[in-house]
Chain A
Amino acid sequence: MDAFSYLFASWLQPELLALTALGTFAGIYIGAIPGLSVTMAVSILISFTFSWEVNHALALMNGIFMGGVYGGSRTAILLNIPGAPAAIATAIDGYPMAKKGEAGNAIGLSTVMSFFGGFIGIAVLAVAAPAVSEFAIKFQPRDYMLLAMMGILLVGALSGESLAKGIFAGAFGMLLGTVGLDPMTAEQRFTFGSVELMNGISSIALMIGLFGVSEALLQLHTLHIPAIKQRVDKIIPSLADLKKYLPLSLQTSAIGVIIGALPGTGGDIAALMAYDHAKRVTKNPEVPFGQGAKEGLVGPESANNAAVGGAYIPMLTLGIPGDAVTAVIIGALFIHGLNPGPLLLIEKPDMFWFTVGNLTLANFFMLIFGLTGIKIFTRIIECPKSVLFPLILLLSVVGAYSINNSVSDVWWMLGFGVLGYFMKLYGYQVGPIVLGIILSRLMDDNWRRAIISERESLPAFFTGMLSSPLSATLFVAIVLILLGQTPLWKRFKARGLAVPEKS
């Protein structure tokens, strides 16, 4: 098998090895520093890496993704500030551990468990993706449409305070994706007579604006909050601890992969569900949950890294991103001329196996960097925000400029930055916008293909949808997601399930 040789491509080429290491290292810090996010880093980097060979760019981004999901746990444990949403659950028990002087222990354990989780996620990706893509070839256009719809709805429904705002953001993103010449009829849509708008709105400029500029502007609100320092001692976790928590780690990794693989849900939700699971299956914890239980650390940390591998499954096999980060990575793949979808694994198996091998490599680097360099870490984390935010903004502007060497992309980026700033303050999510602009073309094309094949008849469309098992399942899932957001179901859920709150 020729394609398999690509599995170790990034292990053997010094350049790729270095880029993966650099990405993972940077990812850990980006994930750890509150205010910096993986989405922000990847969206800014796309504009700098699109002239590279695709494998080089992928190596860097895979590293950042892997390291970033883990990195959030560091600050969650040390400062009680989750560096990334995926680490919110980690702070619940990690910070109490640090307060008791067990910060080193907590970091060590969460590092090794993240490694386990990451590995399981990648293994499932390697096994499941080929099967899923074989299955996906049989998908009808309407199934793609329904899948994309489900993804956007899930992101909108789960990540924010209001479903209406999530749906609005998703639809807004889809609408932005239609600006320009219609790919089927070359008719102008929303161009307002401008030649520049005919090419559409650059999704990269939009991402940098929404994730880079708006986030940096928001962080200016809380600029002068001093950080608390913790003493960090022994990091390498004891073998007894590892043995004891391995079963739990395996269970929560499974949760992580599944949640990660669902379009629209990512590491943050996986971590919260894993925390809940850990709480339910641990009958007699040594230390109560919320006061430094190691189970409360193992669960979410295994799950959020397992979700990374899971998130690549729909991204590579269906072309549907699982969450905001994979939406950005898909944007990068498009730019490199790749077309994620069921044919990707057939046409470019080398790229798939390269990704699997490269993620594994990044996972090893994460383990190495996670268990060492804690001294440097505590110093970098003290990097003054007064330098950090100007730097982010600088890179955002320069990044947007270098997409096409044109200032107009900078204006778009700034516009979306300001819009995103206000949207976030008024409780709208920006994740669905990015997912929307990425999925817009797929939704539009597949809707039109589906309705043309039914000779423009809506009743025939619905009959076809409900008589195909797959389409019917997806349709029911969408209805359930919508119903799940109604007040009645929320009251029912509040009684049965106690969602852990950030302490």
Chain B
Amino acid sequence: MSKQQTRRPGAIAFNAVILGFSLFMFWQAYLISGFSALSSPGTFPMAMSAIMVLTSAGILIKSLGLSSPGGGFTGFRKEILPPIVLLFSLIILAFSLVLKPLGFLLASFLFLLSSIWLLERGRFGRALLLSVVSIIGVYVIFRLIFQVVLPEGIIPERAIISTIGDYFSGRH
């Protein structure tokens, strides 16, 4: 990132939150064992949170001195949080929520389909094809070759895989 003379939109708010968080953590660190001894469990956390307080205060003061980027909320939306990032974050959130109940295969497929569809700007056929290919690739590499345990959910994949295995080994 190149050096900039104007601050980024929202920089003051962010740095202030960081300072507030550091102060809170310092207070919490103090509550562990106070100033009882240099080797107490709370000393190191207190030292670290004190460093956080000092540096974040310095950063906040410095960012107050930089000139305003202008543009208000529009600038913030353009530079820091474009709609696509926000939308994407919501999709990931939804994916994490349904991962366990729906299972890896279905949840991942829906996640890939919706996110590729979004990024491909509406070409549904292409998105469908790409997500099917990707999900098969991921499944083969991670589930079958690397043997990673993935949440099964509502598709009985283990049963399907073992049926296929039985079929090929002639036990059918």
Contact = CB atoms under 8 A, between A and B. Distances in A.
Interface of A: 48-49, 51, 161-162, 164-165, 167-168, 171-172, 174-175, 178, 182, 184-185, 187-190, 213, 217, 220-221, 223, 384-387, 389-391, 393-395, 397-398, 401-402, 405, 407, 410-411, 414, 418, 421-422, 425-427, 443-444, 447-448, 451-452, 456, 458
Contacts, number: 163
Nearest to B56: A168
B120 A190 contact: no
A51 B148 CA distance: 8
A426 B116 contact: no
Contacts of A220: 82, 84-85, 88
Contact of A426 (B11, B48, B147, B150): B11
A171 B56 CA distance: 11
Contact of A407 (B59, B88, B96): B96
Contact of A390 (B37, B38, B48, B119): B119
Contact of A168 (B8, B18, B95, B99): B18
Contacts of B14: 422, 426
Contacts of B79: 425
B136 interface: no
Contacts of B10: 426
Contacts of B75: none
A49 B146 contact: yes
A448 B45 contact: no
A174 B50 CA distance: 12
B151 A452 contact: no
Given A391-B134, A401-B99, A456 B38 contact: yes
Contact of B130 (A387, A389, A418, A443): A387
A49 B147 CA distance: 9
Nearest to B15: A426
Contacts of B82: 220-221
A405 B85 CA distance: 27
Nearest to A165: B59
A167 B55 contact: yes
Max chain A Cβ within 10 angstroms of own Cβ: one of B29, B55, B85? B55
Given A49-B146, A187-B33, A397 B92 contact: yes
Nearest to A441: B44
A217 B15 contact: no
A171 B99 contact: no
Contacts of A390: 111-112, 115-116, 119, 131, 134
Contact of B119 (A167, A189, A223, A448): A223
B154 interface: no
Interface in B102-144: 104, 108, 111-112, 115-116, 119-120, 130-131, 134, 138, 142
9 contacts: A48-B148, A167-B55, A171-B51, A184-B41, A187-B32, A221-B82, A385-B119, A386-B130, A427-B1
A171 B142 CA distance: 35
Contact of B88 (A161, A174, A217): A217
Given A168-B18, A175-B49, A427-B8, 20 more contacts: A51-B148, A162-B62, A178-B44, A178-B45, A187-B41, A384-B130, A390-B111, A390-B115, A394-B138, A395-B138, A397-B92, A397-B96, A401-B150, A407-B100, A410-B96, A418-B89, A426-B14, A426-B15, A444-B44, A447-B44
Contacts of A451: 38-39
Given A48-B146, A456-B39, A394 B112 contact: yes
Max chain A Cβ within 10 angstroms of own Cβ: one of B37, B51, B100, B150? B51
B149 interface: yes
